[in-house]
Amino acid sequence: MSLNQVKINDFVIRFANVNGTGSASANYLFCKSIFRMGVPVTPKNIFPSNIQGLPTWYEVRVSEKGYLGRREGIDIMVCVNPQSMLKDVGNVRTGGYFLYDSSKPLHSNYIRDDIHYIGIPLMEMCNEAFTDPRQRQLFKNIIYVGALAALLEIDFKVFESLLAEQFAGKEKLIAPNIKALQMGVDYIHEHYSDPIDIRVEQRDLVGDSIMIDGNTACGLGAVYGGATVAAWYPITPSTSVIESFMNFSDEYRIDPETGKRNVAIIQAEDELAAIGMVIGANWNGARSFTATSGPGLSLMNEFLGLAYFAEIPTVLIDVQRTGPSTGMPTRTQQSDTLEAAYASHGDTKHILLFPSTPKECFEMTADAFDLTEQLQTPVIVMTDLDLGMNDHMSKPFQWDDHRQYKRGKVLDAEALEGIERFGRYLDVDGDGIPYRTYPGTHPTKGSYFTRGTSRDEYAVYTESGDAYVRNMDRLMKKWNTAKSYVPGPHLYQEVNLSTYGILFFGTSEYSTEEAIDILKAEGVQLDAIRIKSFPFNDTVEEFIHSHDKVFVVEQNRDAQMKSLLMIELSINPEKLVSVLNYDGLPITADQIVNSIKSGLSFSDLK
């Protein structure tokens, strides 16, 4: 093995496994060990829509510079799946490493002369060391982690502490894991004494960061945000939002005195029922939410129109996956943007929030409950599979104990006493947001009939065109009011530095930031803005108007965010240049850079 320039803390490793063989926890152990070495790391789970038997990959990018987006070019491939081996061999970059189970000889088809091979007889070693068939299977994975530790010089003590944490309470599982790790280390020391040209070195670059997935963060945000009713229907990749909410509720929502639960979580018969329950609960004064993905969002359209028109708070977490139809259920995309923005028939618009990190998943979910009650309209949190199901390095979550829940304009019995006649849809304050009452508040005042049919300011059914238009115009006024309630964009510069801008949102953040750095190094300056919500506020409009061209980065085919900007802000389509990725994998910086370079004459940009 020749020693080239050593790459320290800068590589991509991909694990090729068979689904359902216990590889996930071993691969996570590897990823977490690097995080514990103080080095920024980003794992991506590329998994099949299957429970057992199909190929699954786990990719870890290690980046001293802190780039958390996915990167093409596999430096090390760990392949323990014969099904995908041919493709996996082909994916290794020239000069990279291919680690495989050498219990059986490698077929000549798999031999390339421009990569390095590291064979470890994983199956043989396991069969020798362990008798239990399940252990023989599981520890193959742990042995290769041990081998990687030796090759990359990861501190063994890190694994010891990680395993001690993982198996707290099940200590007898620690020893066989350590044994398997050590077998991997020893094998490398005995058979591959030459170092490889990739290495991990201890750093202090992660600070107080945490590693967590966005769905867990959303579930926790719902607990902190005061949700008491959750209704849902299982669908990948949103299911773990509710699972997270359930787990945290088991911990933090049990009344210590009575043992009863301060939460109701209902698994509905379908997404229609799930959103119906959420609307019923919110109507009745409980904070309630559901989580779904594209197909569920399609089903929920009718009810979203009702919630918009009848002005009922509703929180929906949309963990987007690759559409249309069933699409690729275990791949990511940002392709529900238009569907969510205008869900349901008739003139409707919905508030969207676009988190980019687990921290924002936590915050925006909690904020969504305030926003939906303040504005009395649905709020949809637009996360995606990449953010929701992959672990991300994130700033720690924070909560201000002085923060109060903003319950919006709700009249209690006392307030109703002072009112001559309650008008549910009267614009008392001139901001388009009316007052509401919860059922059961007052014996004679404040009751009204909620309906999806047109009605006047007093919630009385009407077919008067004038009353209908008054109501629709008030809803539009409320929409404009919302612009000052929703989170504004992140503007990367105080004054414009370029005539070119780049606009992005959600999980395109990491790779776009990296792309901006790459282009800058090549002499191209781009001003940047990250959108966090819809409706767009004035800063977004000003940013676009103050640049000659704006690249719009998004992960769908049809440039849905570009369309939304054009429609809502009357932007000339020529001005917005799309940078798109829709292959189901998270967008990379290289894709963005290449797209920008091909989209315009590169010399123009400089």
Partner 1 sequence: MTYLRPKFRHPELPKNNLGYSVDYYEGSLSTLCAGCGHDSISAGIIQAAYELDIEPHRLAKLSGIGCSSKTPAYFLSNSHGFNSVHGRMPSVATGANMANRDLIYLGVSGDGDSASIGMGQFVHVIRRNLNMVYIVMNNGCYGLTKGQDSATADSGSKNKSGHVNLFQSIDLASLAIELGATFVAQSFSGDKSQLVPLIKAAMNHPGFAFINVISPCVTFNNNPGSTKSYDFVREHMEATSTFDFVPEMAEITTSYSEGSQKSVKLHDGTFLQFHKIAQDWDPEDRISAINAVQNAKLKNEILTGLLYINPEPVDLHEMINTSLRPLNSLTKEDLCPGSEVLKSINKDWR
Residue ranges in 290-319 that form contacts with partner 1 under rule CB under 8 A: 302-303, 306
- Site map 212..241 versus partner 1, x via CB under 8 A: x-------x--xx-x-xx-x----------
Binding status of residue 204 toward partner 1 by CB under 8 A: no
* CA of residue 464 relative to chain centroid, distance: 45
Q: For residues 148 and 146, what is the distance between their CA atoms, to the nearest angstrom?
A: 5
SS3 annotation, 340-365: HHCCCCCCCCCEEECCCCHHHHHHHH
* CA of residue 580 relative to chain centroid, distance: 18
Which residue type does 483 have? K
Our CB check for partner 1 shows the closer of 123 and 460 to be 460
Q: For residues 161 and 174, what is the distance between their CA atoms, to the nearest angstrom?
A: 10
Of 373-412, binders to partner 1 (CB under 8 A) are 396-401, 404-405
Q: For residues 290 and 233, what is the distance between their CA atoms, to the nearest angstrom?
A: 8
- Site map 10..39 versus partner 1, x via CB under 8 A: ------------------------------
In the complex, minimum distance from the CB of residue 461 to partner 1, in angstroms, rounded to a whole number: 7
Q: Counting every residue, how long is the chain?
A: 606
358 CB-contact burial (10 Å; exposed 0-12 / middle 13-18 / buried 19+): buried
Q: Which tokens sit at 138? A: 């599981």
In the complex, minimum distance from the CB of residue 446 to partner 1, in angstroms, rounded to a whole number: 8
Of positions 258, 325, 601, 603, contacts partner 1 by CB under 8 A? 258
Given a contact cutoff of 8 angstroms between Cβ atoms, the answer to whether 552 and 529 are in contact is: no
In the complex, minimum distance from the CB of residue 289 to partner 1, in angstroms, rounded to a whole number: 11
In the complex, minimum distance from the CB of residue 20 to partner 1, in angstroms, rounded to a whole number: 26
Q: For residues 470 and 423, what is the distance between their CA atoms, to the nearest angstrom?
A: 14
Of 445-474, binders to partner 1 (CB under 8 A) are 447-453, 460-461
Our CB check for partner 1 shows the closer of 92 and 263 to be 263
Q: Which tokens sit at 205? A: 């670059």
Of positions 71, 349, 442, 478, contacts partner 1 by CB under 8 A? 442
Of positions 259, 418, 465, 523, contacts partner 1 by CB under 8 A? 259
Our CB check for partner 1 shows the closer of 462 and 539 to be 462
In the complex, minimum distance from the CB of residue 444 to partner 1, in angstroms, rounded to a whole number: 6
The footprint of partner 1 on this chain (CB under 8 A) covers a number of residues equal to: 72
Of positions 53, 95, 133, 439, contacts partner 1 by CB under 8 A? 439
Give which of 185, 163, 186 is closest to 174, Cα–Cα: 163
Rg (CA), the chain: 27
In the complex, minimum distance from the CB of residue 411 to partner 1, in angstroms, rounded to a whole number: 13
Of 104-112, 432-440, 501-509, 583-591, the window that binds partner 1 (rule: CB under 8 A) is 432-440
Binding status of residue 210 toward partner 1 by CB under 8 A: yes
Given a contact cutoff of 8 angstroms between Cβ atoms, the answer to whether 136 and 126 are in contact is: yes
Q: Which tokens sit at 406? A: 């903003």
β-pair partners for 528: 502
Binding status of residue 166 toward partner 1 by CB under 8 A: no
Of positions 103, 135, 182, 441, contacts partner 1 by CB under 8 A? 441
- The total of other beta-carbon atoms located within 10 Å of residue 577's CB is 20
Of 284-292, 333-341, 502-510, 523-531, the window that binds partner 1 (rule: CB under 8 A) is 284-292
